[in-house]
Amino acid sequence: MHGNNKFCPAAEGAPPLSGGGIVLVGVVRTRITDNQVNDNSSGGTLASSGIVLISAALTGGADESHNTVADNDLHRNQRADIVWDGSGTDNRFIDNDCASSIPPGLCHP
In the prediction, which pLDDT does 55 show?
Answer: 93
In the prediction, which pLDDT does 13 show?
Answer: 67
Domain that holds residue 63: 17-102
In a domain, 62, yes or no: yes
In the prediction, which pLDDT does 48 show?
Answer: 77
In a domain, 12, yes or no: no
In a domain, 9, yes or no: no
In a domain, 71, yes or no: yes
State the first-to-last Cα distance of the chain, in angstroms, to the nearest integer: 19
List of the chain residues with pLDDT < 70: 2-10, 13-19, 42-47, 109
What is the arrangement of strands in the sheet containing 68-70, beginning at the earlier edge strand? 31-33, 68-70, 92-94
